[in-house]
Amino acid sequence: MGFLYSQFFRTPPYPKGSFRGKTVIVTGSNVGLGKEAARHYARLGASQLILAVRSVDKGEAAKEDIVRTTGLDNIHVWKLDMRDYGSVQSFASRAEAELDRVDIFIANAGVVRAQYHQVNGHEEGIAVNAISTALLMANMMPKMRETAARFNTRPTFTITGSAAYEHTTFPQRSAPDGQILTALSDEKTCKQYWSQQYPVSKLVQLLLVRAIAHHHPASEFPVTINIVNPGLCWSELAREATGWGFWLFRLVVARSTEVGSRTLVHAGASGRETHGKYLSDCTMEEPSALVTDAAGREGQERVASELVKAVEAIQPGVSRNFQTV
């Protein structure tokens, strides 16, 4: 009932304020939530806006639409394919070299698959939503920390999460030490719990954000890292979903992508008080017991440790970017 109350009676406020002087990056911004969030940032005067997209052609079309509706012309389209770890690293290197600052990073790109697919040795949702997002965050930290020090500001890295995380029992946490990510990508296990695969990928994101903040609190770490639930929206994320039942459910319950995108803008503009926090309907919300009870805290440490090892295997030394200085 909490979900339905949120969808019907808690409309996120329309974004106001100014982002003048700010450089904003939004991934997955050629459609849906990312595009509408980018439009808000453009409307509110962001000095520079980067649309990070898998398809540059679609990104250019989104840019043209945003320019037409907001008048902001300092918008750039950069290639980022979250299925390709090399693309993630190249994107971050480009940001380091070409951008004077990065104030807000909205990590919105994600995937939901109707069937099992494997990418880079992992189930695609785990590879993209969890490992690739962790790699991207780690690679963006040096530039965002530099921004904090150079401009006396506090940048924000926001991950688009989902309340769907509540719809998994997280059966894979019973795996032996160091084997949770392996269990999350095991084809037989995935197919057995397929309805939980997307929710568990969003749970992994939430656990990572909380673990980073636990070990590197806001008082010591100069970048705010948070995660936001935009609610159920009419986005293309679930474009592979089939069946009239789900279509009708979305028709009745879902928010527009513009309304959902307001939560992304709010999270990106939020301060140190949201470091490590889960935001929903533009407020901080305590996660469920799946996350906060003793088993949840243990799972959090195990998942975070495995994600660190996964990104270290891809790029040795990159996890040092999360250390406090």
> Residues 140, 157: contact at Cβ < 8 Å?
yes
Tokens of 107: 């990590």
Longest dimension (CA), the chain: 54
Q: Is 63 tagged catalytic? A: no
Tell me the C-alpha distance between 314 and 299, whole Å. 23
- Strands of the 48-53 sheet, one edge to the other: 75-79, 48-53, 23-27, 104-107, 156-160, 224-229, 278-280, 283-284
8: which 2 tokens?
A: 């019907």
Task: Tell me the two tokens of residue 196.
Answer: 């939980």
Please name the residue ranges forming H helices in the chain: 2-9, 32-43, 56-70, 85-98, 124-125, 133-151, 180-185, 187-192, 197-215, 244-253, 257-269, 289-292, 294-314
Catalytic-residue membership of 191: no
Using only C-alpha atoms, what is the Rg of the chain? Answer: 18
Q: Cα(104)–Cα(176) distance, rounded to whole angstroms? A: 37
Q: Which of 22, 35, 202, 277 does the annotation list as catalytic?
A: 202
Question: Token digits for 307?
Answer: 């994600």
At 291 the three-state DSSP class reads: helix
> What residue type is 86 in one-letter code?
G
The residue annotated as part of the active site, out of 41, 198, 277, 278, is 198
What is the token pair recorded at 79? 């290639």
Which residues are designated catalytic?
198, 202
